[in-house]
Structure 1
Amino acid sequence: MSAWHPRHASMENFPAKAAVVDMVERRRCSSKLCTLFSDVDICSISLRSCPPTRQRSHPLTFLKSLALPLPSSSPPPPIFGLFIMDEHPKASWPFNSRPHDYCNIRQPLSRRNKGQLLSIPCQGLRLLFLLSWAFSGGQLGVSAQCPAEQRDALLHLKQGFTVSALRGNSTSDPLHSWRPGTDCCRGWVGVSCDATSGRVGTLDLSHFHIKGKVDQALFSLTSLRILDLSCNQLDPEAFPSQGFEMLSNLTRLNLSDSGFGGLIPAGISRLRSLVSLDLSAYGICSTSSLRLKSPDLKALVGNLTNLQELYLRGVNISAGGHEWGPALSSSLPSLRELDLAGCSLSGPIDSSLSKLTNLTILRLNQNNLSSELPEFLGNLSYLSYLRLSYCGLRGPIPGGIFKLPRLQNLDVSKNPILSGHLPDFPDDRILENLWLFETNMSGSLPDSIGNLKFLKTLRLSNCIFSGSLPASFANLTQLVFVDLSANNFSGRIPSFASSTNLMELNLQNNSLTGPVPGWLFSLPALRTLQLNLNQLSGELGEFSDEASLLQTVDLSSNKLHGSFPKSVAKLSGIQILKFASNRLNGTVGLDLFANLNHLSIFDLSNNLLTVEATSSMSFPRVSTLNLASCNLVGFPEFLRNQSILSRLDLSNNLIDGVVPNWLWSVGNGGLAYLNLSHNSLKNFESPPDLSRSALIVLDINSNKLRGQIPLPPPQNLFVDYSNNQFTSTFPSDIVWNLSFTMFFSAANNTLVGEIPSYFCSSTYLQVLDLSVNNFTGQIPKCLLASVNDLRVLNLRDNKLSGSLPGESAERCKLRTLNVNGNMLVGAVPQSLSNCKLLQVLDLGNNQIEDSFPSWLGNLTDLRVLVLRSNRFHGHIPIPNGDNYTSFSMLQILDISSNRFSGPLPAACLKSCKAMTATDEQSGSLVGKFGRAGGGDLALGVLERREEMVLQACG
């Protein structure tokens, strides 16, 4: 056994023609190989001779042999000659090796040796390989010179390009090596030549961020076998309309994300030697995409009978299942990899695809297939990757798909009506990634899920799975990512203690019970733990030292009690820490978290804690701080130094006195959410100037603030000033600050003056609540006519006069209109019939004079109708016909204290079906008229007055 160290070699000892790589499998190698030696200035060396495909494999799979240079310096290394990597199951290719690993290589048989095994430091072998490659200009085994016409064609091609940046860290021109008078087969980046003729065989300019157009000279490189222009920013019309047909030797063509758009050139369909074709638009490097020219997909692939890999993601094919399915199956018998994601395909999935028996990869996601999953997919025995997410699939998943022997990746997520149950899994499956989230899958998880011993990713969120989580999860030692959130799982959390690679565990929004297991905080790789929105109980244990890698811990909205774990201070990498809405008690000093420098989101709201913040303490710079219901008695001083804070919730505390001026500057003007509601605040230190504020949500309701109502921030969406003691009118320039407002409430104050008409200019206003104030004058007529998005208008208990606005928007979206307790007169405007979504109409305690508005019965969603204490008069009309359905959803009807006369039609009562309630014990109908404010709703309130005689007819 001999050993040799790379530092015995010097760079000048390596001849130009030093390495030969014999590729036996056409797999893509890594895009860049960089040495780990600080004293060697070689980086961004690309294995450009590797065939560009979608799969990136271990370099050992395509390197069969390599000839290494012989250093002439002393001491000499062993005689290398031609070496073959030792076929040991744990052999490590040197590019992935650790500093002290040795790679076993075997000398070839010769007269001087018998192929003995040598052990060479892996990094030394790597350095030799890279240096020899670099000094050969990246050209392996090239002896012939580049013909002049080949060089000139490349130079013409370069003239049409502009380069914005080089891949890697260099800022120089990546095509600087393309110079007149030099050999394009030696040192020209991206170019590889045939060893005998010198003609260009490979042109790989991928990821060069090239702009411009492709010169016609490209098509004179007729010996090209590999052309890769992927991930560039070429003009959409970059390619000449004709010419591709001249590249008849092409076996691999990759134009994905190149910027190329428009119609696919017809010449591509004549490249009969193609093995791999990639025209995809991934949207990573470019936003342009291609489309097929009529008639169909058959025109593109009909002649490409040798094609094994077809990637058309994002290409606009616009074909039905009976078109694209047969086009592929009849033309591409050797197809192994197929990607038609986002191609505007429609279904169904045609049975002709069953002929593609060699398929290993199938991606049809992001199409509108709108069909069931066909059974034949379970017969594609070579299939290793199947992705059919976001396709409108329905029905059950065929059980055969789960039993495919080579299946490693299955994704049928985001198909909301895809149903079924998980089957029993055999113990010999090699499934690694299973995505079923956002489907209608149901039932319990089978105990046999523990047989999926290679499973790394399990995503079953937003389904309707139920039952206990099986204990067999303990067998899944390779798990990295588990998301079972938003289901109906119950019972205790099973053990994942053996899943030492687990990085993310998301069980939120279920019905899990029992304590939080202590072993969770000992998983060595765990970064994210989300157990919120469950029914977990018990006391929290302390965090172990192994939990220091945790970045997210969310235990909010459970039933945890006891003291807050002080060992949280050990979580040095924590970014998100949420314990809100539990029953934790005791006192917590915020200085406990002073050293959590990565903390970004912190939430202790709604517990039984008393949170203390001393004036001298420091606190990490966070973006979200929620301390609602934490018994705070003042504004924490450390808030002054919070320069990146965007969300602050101090609601439901014991803060009283004055709102300081510095609070409006928290976050350096970037504060977007501020909630100070339900405190005892009395005044502002000075009138707040929010003209430059970034606040989107401002909630100061339920305090004791008085004086002038503040001008809302200019970009607000939500403003709540309700339940205070403001006594002013609205400021006149408020109109400029309502452009984006969706919710505005100033209810229960003592505001005066008229309701400003500039609320009508609030295009996005959905809720306006000005109830319980002293507003006078008329309701602005434009409120119902102009504010199309208005859902709730509450003006009750003011001193408004005049009539209700006589116009309503044709597309009125109003759901609640409450003007109770004013001095309104006139009739009920029939324009309210435009408000088809109206559910609550309260006109009580006014002076409205009208007959019974029976036309309101056409509002099929109306649930509450209050007309009491007005001047309504006359008979209540008798409905016509046996199928009378007016007011069928009505639950509350109050017509008391009016001047109605005559009988109350029985048919009217019968039509109000939503008023009937069944006594759970007797099964009988609970009354016909009910009680005022009664719990068992029947007919709201019907009070007998002298001027009104009600008789139940029949």
Structure 2
Amino acid sequence: MSESCVRLHFLSLILLCCVSHSTSFFTFKVDSSSYVACGPHQTQALTEFMNEFDSSHCNLSDPFNGVWCDNSTGAVTKLRLSDCLSGTLKPNSSLFRLHHLRYLFLSGNNFTSSTLPFEFGNLNSSSLFELHHLSYLDLGSNNFSSSLPSEFGNLNRLEFLDLSTNDFFGKVPPTISNLTSLTELYLQNNQLTGSFPLVQNLTMLVVLNLVGNHFSGTIPSSLTTMPFLSHLDLRVNDLTGSIEFPNSSTPSRLEYLYLGNNHFEGKIIEPISKLINLTHLDLSFLNTSYPVDFRLFSSLKSLLHLDLSGNSISPASLGSKSDISIDLEILLLRGCGIKEFPNILKNLEKLENIDISGNMIKGKVPEWLWKLPRLNTVFLSNNSFNGFEGPVDVLVNSSVKTLFMEQNYFEGAIPLLPLYITDFSALDNRFTGSIPLSVCNYRSLMLLRLPYNKLTGPIPQCLSNLTFVNLRKNNLEGSIPDAFYKSSSLRSLDVGYNRLTGKLPRSLQNCSSLDFLVVDHNRIKDKFPFWLKSLPNLKVLVLSSNRFYGSISPPPGQGLLGFPELHIFEISDNKFTGSLPPTYFVNWKATYEDGSLYMVHIKNTSGRLCYTYTEAIDLQYKGLLMEQKFVLTSYATIDFSGNRIEGQIPESIGLLKALIALNFSNNAFTGRIPLSLSNLGKLESLDLSSNHLSGTIPNGLGSLSFLEYINVSHNQLKGEIPQGTQITGQAKSSFEGNSGLCGLPLQETCFGTNVPPTQEPPEEDQDQVQVLNWKAVVIAYGPGLLLGLVIAHVMASYKPEWLIKIIGPNKRRNH
């Protein structure tokens, strides 16, 4: 049987289908050069299925997505749609009329308010389930906010089904057991509950992934005797009890077993030690009441990857005299309460990756560790190490490429690193002296993180060749090297809290991949870097607490400010002047509400282990210095406080739908508070204090449900303070210094006085028109618009309570 892959946009599919009812076959374009016929009944079902949703984001020219039809029968056998559907998946969906489906993948969609059909077993109640020849069904990575429809059980020809990451809730329908041809089933990252799904009848199953749900109860013992099951992933559930394996003359075929983050009470290590074909085993964070004996794994001769993180490990079993010989390549022992260096590692000569971070190990790292011949990745973070055994060059000849030794007590000079090092992080230690010029000799070095140390001296010019550089909170001097070459790989540069002088290096314009630039709390003297707007990916720009000066408005003829991807914009406590044009915030990425955590994903050179790290910035919030440990680009923050900016605040500030924190304080803004601020539904912190603002406080601010902090003190505001939970709960000091304001939380009453109304109707009507005009700006903006708009200014800075940490003068960082 042969199949062809369809590649066309579904808009074309719908249009073509509408004119094909009189023909016997529907023609799909394949790879821009060939064609394949799909039966009209199948085409109609597929088209109707697409019409049930907003599919405007579905692009079948994407090689990942597509529709596959059988050349001989015209049946749809394979369907992959990821991250593009939005709507309700109903039990009578046309999807379930595609009875010949063998492969179904609907990853990353937004299905809501529906149930997952059980008809996968017989495919006779809906359009999807008429595609009976489908060999692979994958509905993974979607955002289903519904229960799992039983109709999926009718697709009894399915060989592959992925319903992962869809927020399905409730129990897995028992009709899932009808899918007896399934070889792979993915239900991970949903909200599924109840006991273990009925999969025992799925005798062809090779892969079963149930990660990140709420399944409870015990694991069926029959799983280990399923004839082909080799990959079982049950992490992050609520499973309990112990594991009991039935006696069988045929050994289990399980090779990958992941049980971490559950609630097993019984002893499960001993029965698992009988699964002699295991190569990957995750038993992390099991909440067992007894220490794990490392020696019990000696029978697993094929074991390559072992994760025991978050468990108590028997100290005796980690000693060098333990009789164990496993060809482990990856060993993870994070947060196991280990107090002495695990000498058992000396026996693991094939070890490539070791993680013993988050323990209580003191003293020096033993010299023999660096002599392990295959060692590639070492995590020593969050312990109490203070140095290395052996000579100063003990690391040089090591095969290690990734070394993380954060939050320890290492002191003295930065050590000589392994020759082929790619990633080195020594955040929050006690290193002193200058950054050694030897770092210029490491041709493979990509990531260098040395923040929160006591380093002095200049920044070596060769660091411009790296991709991730973080030297935050040291005592470095001199200027940032102006040596960034064209096509530089630099993505992240943080040199905040040092003693740097000079100007921002103009060669940063060459760093087209740069998305994180932080230089706050230095002595840099320069004008605003409008030239950085040429960087297409810049998301975070922090210039606060330096000696920057001049206007922050674009020079004449340059039009908009630029920075289309910018989400975090902090320029507080400088000497910026001027006013903001009305279009200042037009076309910013922050007009959209989507985004993600600013997180760096790195795969080490061995291809065996992935890790992530997040960048952090410090913000002034309610007069306190706070660290925003996780930089969220799904939100936006703006802080222009402590400058000399004047003029009106542009109504275009209301376009920044992702804005959660806005700080204009301590400037010279005049005019009214923009009514468009009421459009910022995510706003949590607003500080307009110590300006020259006049007029009334917009009523709409009282309806912002997330607004936790507002400060409009020391302006020239008048009228009644809008009443609402979010405003009346504020401190009195947030409104003081405005002689014309009255109402709660101030003591001045508005009754029996001649104070003006909260909103003056004529002026309000005019402002409302202006807000509507700004909504039109988003749709169509032309040069002539500049003649009819008003100049103003914007500032914002905030740190959500759940992401911040107050930084004391001598407090050690927690990561």
Normalising by structure 1, report the TM-score: 0.56
Which residue is 2:353 aligned to?
576
* 8 Å CA contact 1:457, 1:479 repeated in 2: yes
Which residue is 1:398 aligned to?
173
Shift in CA distance, 535/869, structure 1 to aligned 2, threshold 3 Å = farther
Which residue is 1:446 aligned to?
218
Q: What is the rounded CA distance, in whole Å, between the counterparts of 1:423 and 1:861 in structure 2?
A: 39
Shift of 1:890: 1.3
State yes or no: 1:741 paired with 2:514.
yes
State yes or no: 1:585 paired with 2:356.
no
- 2:718 paired residue among 889, 901, 904: 901
Which residue is 1:728 aligned to?
502
State yes or no: 1:788 paired with 2:564.
yes
Deviations 1:325-382 (A, max 9, x none): 87978xxxxxxxx8456799x9976776479xxx9997332469999565795997xx
Shift of 1:398: 3.3
Shift of 1:772: 0.9
Segments of structure 1 that go 5 or more residues without pairing to the other structure are 1-52, 54-227, 232-257, 267-286, 303-309, 330-337, 917-927, 933-940
Shift of 1:431: 7.1
- 2:365 corresponds to which letter in structure 1? V
Which residue is 2:230 aligned to?
457
Which residue is 2:210 aligned to?
437
* 8 Å CA contact 2:641, 2:666 repeated in 1: yes
Shift of 1:625: 1.0
- 1:892 corresponds to which letter in structure 2? Y
Shift in CA distance, 262/895, structure 1 to aligned 2, threshold 3 Å = same
Which residue is 1:525 aligned to?
302
Shift in CA distance, 366/870, structure 1 to aligned 2, threshold 3 Å = same
* 8 Å CA contact 1:698, 1:720 repeated in 2: yes
State yes or no: 1:421 paired with 2:194.
yes
Query: Counterparts of 1:463-478 in structure 2 under 5 Å?
Result: 465-472=237-244, 478=252
Shift in CA distance, 635/625, structure 1 to aligned 2, threshold 3 Å = farther
Q: What is the rounded CA distance, in whole Å, between the counterparts of 2:697 and 2:64 in structure 1?
A: 66
Which residue is 2:471 aligned to?
700
Q: What is the rounded CA distance, in whole Å, between the counterparts of 1:324 and 1:608 in structure 2?
A: 58
Shift in CA distance, 794/425, structure 1 to aligned 2, threshold 3 Å = closer
* 8 Å CA contact 2:98, 2:132 repeated in 1: no
Shift in CA distance, 427/611, structure 1 to aligned 2, threshold 3 Å = same
- 1:480 paired residue among 226, 246, 254: 254
Shift of 1:611: 3.2
- 2:685 paired residue among 849, 858, 864: 864
Q: What is the rounded CA distance, in whole Å, between the counterparts of 2:32 and 2:282 in structure 1?
A: 41
Shift in CA distance, 353/379, structure 1 to aligned 2, threshold 3 Å = closer
Deviations 1:458-488 (A, max 9, x none): 53356x6214352426979626334446755
Which residue is 2:708 aligned to?
891
- 1:843 paired residue among 645, 653, 664: 664
Q: What is the rounded CA distance, in whole Å, between the counterparts of 2:317 and 2:524 in structure 1?
A: 52
Deviations 1:660-710 (A, max 9, x none): 2121221x2x211111111111113x841345x2x2110011111011123
* 8 Å CA contact 1:474, 1:497 repeated in 2: no
* 8 Å CA contact 1:260, 1:290 repeated in 2: no
Q: What is the rounded CA distance, in whole Å, between the counterparts of 1:289 and 1:577 in structure 2?
A: 37
Q: What is the rounded CA distance, in whole Å, between the counterparts of 1:637 and 1:772 in structure 2?
A: 32
Shift of 1:265: 8.8
Shift of 1:263: 3.1
Which residue is 1:101 aligned to?
none
Which residue is 1:775 aligned to?
548
Query: Counterparts of 1:546-585 in structure 2 under 5 Å?
Result: 546-556=324-334, 558-585=335-362
3-state SS, counterpart of residue 339 of structure 2: strand
Q: What is the rounded CA distance, in whole Å, between the counterparts of 2:324 and 2:388 in structure 1?
A: 28
Q: What is the rounded CA distance, in whole Å, between the counterparts of 1:315 and 1:447 in structure 2?
A: 31
Count of residue correspondences: 612
3-state SS, counterpart of residue 749 of structure 1: coil
Shift in CA distance, 829/536, structure 1 to aligned 2, threshold 3 Å = farther
Query: Counterparts of 1:136-151 in structure 2 under 5 Å?
Result: none
Q: What is the rounded CA distance, in whole Å, between the counterparts of 1:575 and 1:789 in structure 2?
A: 39
Segments of structure 2 that go 5 or more residues without pairing to the other structure are 5-29, 39-62, 82-88, 126-130, 591-635, 752-815
Which residue is 1:506 aligned to?
282
Which residue is 2:655 aligned to?
834
Q: What is the rounded CA distance, in whole Å, between the counterparts of 1:862 and 1:885 in structure 2?
A: 12
* 8 Å CA contact 2:76, 2:134 repeated in 1: no
Shift in CA distance, 324/779, structure 1 to aligned 2, threshold 3 Å = closer
- 1:778 corresponds to which letter in structure 2? S
Which residue is 2:410 aligned to?
632
3-state SS, counterpart of residue 611 of structure 1: strand
RMSD value over aligned CA atoms?
4.6
3-state SS, counterpart of residue 592 of structure 1: helix
Shift in CA distance, 701/520, structure 1 to aligned 2, threshold 3 Å = farther
Deviations 1:129-188 (A, max 9, x none): xxxxxxxxxxxxxxxxxxxxxxxxxxxxxxxxxxxxxxxxxxxxxxxxxxxxxxxxxxxx
3-state SS, counterpart of residue 194 of structure 2: coil
State yes or no: 1:758 paired with 2:531.
yes
3-state SS, counterpart of residue 667 of structure 2: coil
Which residue is 1:710 aligned to?
481
- 1:891 corresponds to which letter in structure 2? E
3-state SS, counterpart of residue 502 of structure 1: coil
Query: Counterparts of 1:173-184 in structure 2 under 5 Å?
Result: none
* 8 Å CA contact 1:555, 1:580 repeated in 2: yes
Deviations 1:106-131 (A, max 9, x none): xxxxxxxxxxxxxxxxxxxxxxxxxx
* 8 Å CA contact 1:650, 1:677 repeated in 2: yes
3-state SS, counterpart of residue 647 of structure 2: coil
3-state SS, counterpart of residue 569 of structure 1: helix
* 8 Å CA contact 1:259, 1:288 repeated in 2: no
Shift of 1:599: 1.1
3-state SS, counterpart of residue 429 of structure 2: coil
Which residue is 1:823 aligned to?
644
Q: What is the rounded CA distance, in whole Å, between the counterparts of 1:772 and 1:596 in structure 2?
A: 47
Shift of 1:499: 2.1
* 8 Å CA contact 1:378, 1:398 repeated in 2: no
Larger-gyration structure (1/2):
1
Shift of 1:744: 0.5
Shift in CA distance, 288/430, structure 1 to aligned 2, threshold 3 Å = closer
Shift in CA distance, 632/452, structure 1 to aligned 2, threshold 3 Å = closer
Shift of 1:453: 3.1
State yes or no: 1:661 paired with 2:482.
no
3-state SS, counterpart of residue 715 of structure 1: coil
Q: What is the rounded CA distance, in whole Å, between the counterparts of 2:585 and 2:151 in structure 1?
A: 52
3-state SS, counterpart of residue 610 of structure 1: strand
- 1:786 corresponds to which letter in structure 2? G
Shift in CA distance, 852/779, structure 1 to aligned 2, threshold 3 Å = same
Which residue is 1:930 aligned to?
731
Shift in CA distance, 508/736, structure 1 to aligned 2, threshold 3 Å = same
Which residue is 1:679 aligned to?
453
Q: What is the rounded CA distance, in whole Å, between the counterparts of 2:264 and 2:199 in structure 1?
A: 25
* 8 Å CA contact 1:413, 1:435 repeated in 2: yes
Q: What is the rounded CA distance, in whole Å, between the counterparts of 2:332 and 2:692 in structure 1?
A: 57
Deviations 1:614-670 (A, max 9, x none): 22435421221112233223456552x522x2111122222211212121221x2x2
Deviations 1:405-457 (A, max 9, x none): xx696532056558353448799996764513357x42314253366434753
Q: What is the rounded CA distance, in whole Å, between the counterparts of 2:446 and 2:668 in structure 1?
A: 44
Query: Counterparts of 1:14-29 in structure 2 under 5 Å?
Result: none
Shift in CA distance, 260/658, structure 1 to aligned 2, threshold 3 Å = closer
Identity of aligned residues (%): 22
Normalising by structure 2, report the TM-score: 0.65
Q: What is the rounded CA distance, in whole Å, between the counterparts of 2:567 and 2:93 in structure 1?
A: 46
Shift in CA distance, 373/493, structure 1 to aligned 2, threshold 3 Å = farther
- 1:873 paired residue among 682, 694, 704: 694
